[in-house]
Structure formats: structure tokens, C-alpha cells
Amino acid sequence: MIEFLAAAIRIATPLALAALGGILSERAGVFAVGLEGMMLAGAFAAAIGAWATSEPIAGLLLAPLGGGVIGLAVAIVAVRFRADNMVTGLAVNVLALGLTSYLMRILASGGRPVSMRLPLLTALPIPALSDLPVIGPLLFAQPPLTYLTALGCLLMTLFLNRTQAGLTLRATGENPEAVFASGGHPARVRMLAVIACGAVAGLGGAVLTLQQVGTFTDGMTGGRGYMALAALIVGRWTPWGAAAACLVFGAAEAFELRLQSFGVPVSSYVVQMAPYLIALTVLAGLGQSSKLPAAIGQPLPSTR
């Protein structure tokens, strides 16, 4: 059981970080369909940083930059040029996939394969706490980015509810006119929010490279950005809610792996549908009750 929960936490971590970023973007009023690309770019930048310096910490520093670049692209096209948010998100996902693969080869000089063995961020047990039964190993012996995710949920909650900037950001997603009337700059808020979204989601990608597998491969995010997007909707655009939804998705995937080993009479392909079916069922169950930020996806008037 502990192991099952631990698995859920591990699977949820990159999703939750990405979802945290997505909350910034969506609460500012821009659909976060680009999470997949931001994660991938973050994973790539993290790998490059760690590979070039042999220091995972360098990767950690570079990851937000990678994701942020994709965020910047979304900000320019979707906010500045007021293009459709959804399609812009899809476009940067394609771009990130292509760009990371291509740059990977350039770095490997002339297209030869790079064998990237990255130093991994290892678990940092918190003294005393990690010795607690059950929750000790589960919660207090985690690698740094997992702590960061939990911390991120806390900080994000505080940011959104307790700071002027967070207040302005939320208001921009609800009623940009009110922000403008109170002397704010909705377009600037949205652009910054989307770029920050990229940076945080980039860290989510770094979880994969720096904390879980220690290498970068093409398209290694494999749809996790989309799951994070679903999670933040299920979690109603709140950090803890999204994290909880990610845990549910993580649990669904962990359950899927365990279900196979019970030897169910259907093939692995059917079992593998489980996480998607669960996500779809939860979304359908929420139905229209999941209220979007009021002004999401609506371009700002061009004068502002």
C-alpha cells in the first residue's frame, strides 16, 4: 500500500508541477494547452545543463529557462497577437518536440547519437521525520523536486491569495477590464503569467530527466502535459486541488500497472486505457460544474 502511494506520488510529481504552471496561465486567462511542450523543453534544458556541467543543479537552473522560452512563444502569439489559445498551445507542442529533437542532434555534432547519462537528484530524507512509520518514507524521504512540488503548491496558494500580484493575476483571468480600470496592465499580466507557466512546467519536465530517468529522449513527456491540463481542470484551478487530481491520475496509472500483474483476462492494451478513461470519467462527472475563469481564452481588446 505504501509502495502504491509512493508510486502515485512519483507519477504525480511531474504532472503536479506542470499543473501548477498551468494554473498561473489559466487563472490569468490563457488556456494552458502548451504544457506538454513546456515540459518537454524544460526536460531538454535540464538534461543539457546537467550533461554539460555534470551537475544536476545546473540542469535545475536551466529547466525553467527552457520551459520559459516556449511560454514566451505562447505569450507572443496568443496574448500579443491574440490568436486562439488552444491552437497556439498545440503549435508550441509541435515546435518543442521538433526543436528538442533537432537541437539534441546538433549538440551531438552531425547527428551521431549522444549517450546521455545524467547524475540524478537523489532522495533527501528529512532527519527525524523520515523515520516516522508509514508517512516517514512516504512523505519525508523524497528527492528535491518532489519537495519543491509540495512547496510550490503552498507558495502558489499563498501567491494567488495573499499577494497583490496574485490578486491581479486572478482578476485578469476573471475580468481584465476591472484590472485595467484599477490601473493594471492585463496584457502584461497575461504575458508574464504564461512565461512563468512555462518556467514552472519546465521544472515539471526536469523531474523526468533529473529525478526519474537520468537521460533525455525525444518526446519523452509522452502526453503528460495533457494529463496535467486535465488535472488542473479537475482540481478547479487551485494548487492543492490540482495536486490532488494529479495524485488521482498517478494512482490510476499505478493501479493500471498493478492490475496487469493480477493477471486480468484482458490484454495490456485495454488495461492501459485506464488512466485516460478515468480522466475522461472524472471530467464528465464534473461536467459543467467546473467553472472556468470567466475571461479565459478571450483575447484582450487590442487597445490594451
Contact criterion met (CB below 8 Å) for 172 and 295: yes
Answer for which of 139, 200, 228, 229 binds other proteins (CB under 8 A) is 229
Phi first, then psi: give them for residue 214, nearest 5 degrees: 75, 25
Answer for which of 98, 129, 135, 304 binds other proteins (CB under 8 A) is 98
Q: Does 156 bind other proteins (CB under 8 A)?
A: no
Q: Does 54 bind other proteins (CB under 8 A)?
A: no
Contact criterion met (CB below 8 Å) for 21 and 153: no
Answer for which of 76, 124, 150, 244 binds other proteins (CB under 8 A) is 76
Kindly give, in sequence order, each residue whose CB lies less than 8 Å from that of residue 147, ignoring residues fewer than 6 positions away.
124
DSSP symbols for 183-210: T--HHHHHHHHHHHHHHHHHHHHHIIII
Answer for which of 84, 124, 126, 188 binds other proteins (CB under 8 A) is 84
Within 13 Å of residue 264, how many CA atoms lie on the same side as its CB? 13
C-alpha cell at 257: 500497472
Q: Does 151 bind other proteins (CB under 8 A)?
A: no
Smallest distance, other proteins to C-beta of residue 127, A: 21
Cα–Cα distance for residue pair 65/128, rounded to 1 Å: 35
Q: Does 141 bind other proteins (CB under 8 A)?
A: no
Which parts of 281-300 interact with other proteins (CB under 8 A)? 283-288, 293-294, 299
Smallest distance, other proteins to C-beta of residue 73, A: 6
Contact criterion met (CB below 8 Å) for 58 and 49: yes
Answer for which of 167, 236, 240, 244 binds other proteins (CB under 8 A) is 167
Size of the site for other proteins (CB under 8 A): 107
Smallest distance, other proteins to C-beta of residue 234, A: 10
Q: Which is nearer to other proteins, 160 or 200 (CB)?
A: 160
Single out the residue of 21, 91, 88, 92 nearest to residue 299, CA to CA: 88
Phi first, then psi: give them for residue 124, nearest 5 degrees: -115, 90
Q: Which is nearer to other proteins, 21 or 173 (CB)?
A: 173
Q: Does 268 bind other proteins (CB under 8 A)?
A: yes
472524472: which residue's cell? 282
C-alpha cell at 41: 523543453
Residue type, 56: P
Cα–Cα distance for residue pair 287/4, rounded to 1 Å: 29
Q: Does 264 bind other proteins (CB under 8 A)?
A: yes
Q: Which is nearer to other proteins, 127 or 164 (CB)?
A: 164
Q: Does 105 bind other proteins (CB under 8 A)?
A: yes
Smallest distance, other proteins to C-beta of residue 123, A: 8
Which parts of 195-224 interact with other proteins (CB under 8 A)? 208, 212-215, 217-220, 222-223
Which parts of 112-131 interact with other proteins (CB under 8 A)? 112-117, 120
Answer for which of 152, 168, 200, 242 binds other proteins (CB under 8 A) is 168
